[in-house]
Amino acid sequence: MGRLLRSLLARNNATLKNMSVRVRFAPSPTGPQHLGGVRTALYNYLFAKKNKGVFILRIEDTDQNRYVPGAEQYIIDALHWCGLDFEEGPGINGAYAPYRQSERKAMYRKYADQLIESGNAYYAFDTPQEIEAMRERLKTKENPAPQYDHVTRSAMKNSLTLSKEGTERLVAEGKYVLRAKMPGVGDITFQDLIREEVSFPAHALDDKVLFKSDGMPTYHLANVVDDYLMKITHVIRGEEWLSSTPLHVLLYKFFGWENVMPQFAHLPLILRPDGNGKLSKRDGDRLGFPVFPLNWKSPDTGEESKGFRERGFLPDAFVNMLALLGWNPGTEQEIFSMDELIAAFSIERIGKSGSKFDFEKAKWFNQQYLHKKSAQELAALLQPVLKQNGIERENAFVEQVCDKLRDRVTFVEDFLTAGIYFFKRPESYDEKTIAKRWNPESKTVFEKLMSELAALQDFSSAAVDKFVHDFVAENNLGLGDVLPVFRVLLSGVTQGPAVFDIAALLGKEETMERMKLGVEKLG
């Protein structure tokens, strides 16, 4: 960690002691929430809780053309599933309501006017065709994508080039936007809690649109105004917003709000498994894993994308995995409860470089959380899966099954797929085992074994174990002559818990019936 960053973090920590921390997660309802967005929400939540602050959800829906029905509710459902409950936001009364920007529309106009009056913004009346013509006219090999900026604005149709009368006439017609008047010289520098000092040359920045004639602000103006009005102390967001921060810093200066400007922290990307580029839905589709927390069905195409929840992930395992994609605790510990994450979390341990998403590691986290749960908890999770498959069993039995299989599963559904024989009699038998172990004498051996086993009173695992071993010894057999076939007759497969545990759990009557059916079928 560099000296500058250490100094910056020290000042931040000192400041935290004297302020009420307020952070916000501010997604746009333009579709399902991506893995990276959920991680941004998680880091905001952990930072707020660590510093006894407030975690806010604000829906940034200024771009109504990109609004997707159902997306806002999806965001809220995803946060709740992850346990990231917000104290202020849509549906929750707070001192700074409303929390949808579309419902705050009326309050932005005066701030737009303030920028015009101070000379830090101007009216622009250019049509899309005129802007495109400018770009084509000025395009060169060295500058393939000319911007509307401090250079080109002097040749465009705006209040900087038109007369006062001409400007007023066009404003009255109602077809205009307000653009930020960027300085064009010098550097715009700000401090980032993750990236230290960040500087952008002003001449490389364009005059972004801040406000439209329909009365709706763009993201940039609404974002800064709302952060100010809601008293946001820290803006923790993805690095894709890093290039927008110079404009946001200038807006704080233009409004005279520099003393209350929040501190910025821009999070690294979540990368594809091979590390080449940002993780996307396309990567998940191609490689067979989800990138959304919950299932999402597109209202336009009807296409459904699988979520981590529906794929079988537990929310606490998902959150634990996500926390370690970009942040490390500085120890070897990998499994964290939410309370432990809150206690250990700190911005200074967030890395600058992207983190590769590893689905196998994500599955490992889920496996660890399943292993930690009690048999009662596992049974409660498995019962709905059983009912969906037309299987009804008492909890006591399901708990025992879960206890026997807990070390062999990654997802709750695996209890059924790995242990289907506990709930249904096998319809086929492992061919390799039968070909190798079943012979003309086997039928006689197993008929005798069944006859003697039927008289056994104690059908516990230990008792069945002793009985079978004694039977093998008394009949001059090898364990390999009996145990593999015994297992296959009961389960149909060669893998699973100890065969004596299977027999004890199935019970004497079911065990005998399966052996009888199997011997008759094999002949």
Active site residues: 281
Token representation of residue 473: 């010894």
Where would I find the H helices in 277-337?
A: 281-287, 308-311, 315-323
Q: Rounded to whole angstroms, how far apart are CA atoms 253 and 120?
A: 10
The candidate with the shortest Cα–Cα distance to 190, out of 241, 118, 119, 125, is 241
- The C-alpha atoms of residue 75 and residue 340 are separated, in whole angstroms, by 25
| DSSP SS3 for 292 | strand
Backbone angles phi, psi at 235, to 5 degrees: -105, 105
* Structural contact between residues 400 and 351, judged by C-beta atoms closer than 8 angstroms: no
d(CA 27, CA 57): 8
DSSP string, 86-125: -SBBTTB--TT---BGGGGHHHHHHHHHHHHHTTSEEEE-
Q: Could you please report the per-residue DSSP string of 8-43?
A: HHHHHHHHHTTS--EEEE---SSSSPPHHHHHHHHH
Q: Which amino acid is at 489?
A: L
Strands (E), 120-274: 121-124, 177-180, 187-192, 196-201, 209-212, 234-238, 263-267, 270-271
Distance (Å, whole) CA 248 – CA 219: 10
Q: Say if residues 354 and 266 touch (Cβ distance below 8 Å).
A: no
306: which DSSP letter?
Answer: -
Structure tokens that stand for 422 in this block: 């506990």
User: Does a cis peptide bond (omega within 30 degrees of 0) precede residue 98?
Assistant: yes
